């Protein structure tokens, strides 16, 4: 895998257990939708089904034009100090690249995850 370690960082991001280097920023959001289950032949809601998808947007610098392309995403873990947030059932939603005039390409990788857990050591 094309990952390398960035020294001096307090926040570590791991993809499939390996530390991801060159990360400029990370953004996490959750998108929840609620589907109402209605009674047969009426509009009366009898139950709700909640579905949450977590979005992880990473901005990183990489020598490759398409970082994480071809990588089978299993998990993403973001840790800082004693707290770690793990995301599972991941898939790459999109990869885009911005190449400014100075030549340092910045990639934005958006990952979708279906599971999330928080661990405190």
Task: Report angle CA 29, 30, 34 to the nearest 5 degrees.
Answer: 155
Q: In whole angstroms, what is the distance from residue 121 CA to residue 112 CA? A: 26
Q: Where are the domains of the chain?
A: 8-120
Give dist(CA 60, CA 57) in Å, integer: 10
**Domain spanning 8-120: CATH 2.30.110.20:** yes
Sequence-distant contacts of 50-53: CB under 8 A, at least 24 apart? 52/114, 52/116, 53/112, 53/113, 53/114
In the predicted structure, residue 5 carries a pLDDT above the cut 50: no
pLDDT for residue 63: 63
Beta strand pairing status for 45-61 and 23-38? antiparallel
Instruction: Give the pLDDT confidence of 103-121 residue by residue, as tens digits.
Output: 677 888 899 999 999 888 6
Nearest to 56 by CA among 18, 9, 95, 97: 95
pLDDT per residue over 24-81, tens digit each?
888 888 888 888 878 777 777 778 878 889 999 988 876 666 667 777 888 999 888 7
d(CA 44, CA 5): 55
């Amino acid at each position: 895998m094309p990952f390398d370690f960035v020294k001096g960082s307090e926040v570590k991001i791991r993809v499939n257990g390996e530390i991801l280097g060159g990360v400029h920023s990370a953004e996490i959001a959750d998108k929840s939708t609620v589907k109402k289950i209605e009674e047969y032949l009426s509009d009366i809601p009898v139950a709700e089904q909640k579905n949450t998808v977590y979005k992880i947007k990473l901005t990183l610098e990489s020598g490759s034009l398409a970082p994480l392309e071809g990588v089978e995403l299993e998990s993403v873990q973001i840790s800082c100090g004693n707290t770690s947030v793990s995301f599972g059932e991941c898939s790459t939603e999109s990869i885009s690249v911005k190449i400014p005039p100075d030549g340092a390409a910045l990639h934005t990788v958006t990952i979708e995850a279906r599971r999330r857990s928080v661990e405190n050591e």
